[in-house]
Structure 1
């Protein structure tokens, strides 16, 4: 494999991980499921969840996201080891959210990934979600608008721009 191909592969895998976070936060369940191979798997051992296939992944993520008033995930780059048309890697995650049942949480986690090159680009073959730290202390903040609702356009504060 050429150095340029390895760079391109790493870039595409990093973009795949970014798409995962964006699709989840934007509640775009079809796009979310499309990031996996047809027989892709999501495992979340802490809640004893295993979703196998794009159909199960789509339905499962929609059900899980439906539990949250708001949910914010930030993913940080980890490792990628290329092995031809497959790769393995890790991504580090911080999340916070408030559930519809009134509970909230802040956590730091790791995704343990297997990737597969497909005719449509790199896809997840498997994502295993490992929670490393969990804080269920009630969050002090709140979401400025309901989950899934479009954000309001910011209004300009004209008084703060006078005299500049």
Structure 2
């Protein structure tokens, strides 16, 4: 394992530990320990918000011989309003990106096009 991978595992374990400790002090009603789990500028929002992660695959052919394909992950946060859910933040992380020409044949059902 690389040092980076080990550091990632240590950080992940520390985050999981923070979640477990939070649950423990909340259930026991230990107010001093509960306050110690939070930074001075922390916020705790309970209400009409949501967070999602969704996979995305895009493929497009532009003018001339320009091609674009990618796989990525959208991480979104939403807020409920009287008109429905709206984005409050949207972030895209590329996992794979390719600009090479497409290969293969495509057939659209019912059109006979190839």
TM-score between the two structures when normalised by the length of structure 2: 0.48
Of the two structures, which has the highest relative contact order with CA contacts closer than 8 Å and spacing of 6 or more?
Answer: 1
Pick the structure with more strand per residue.
1
TM-score between the two structures when normalised by the length of structure 1: 0.35
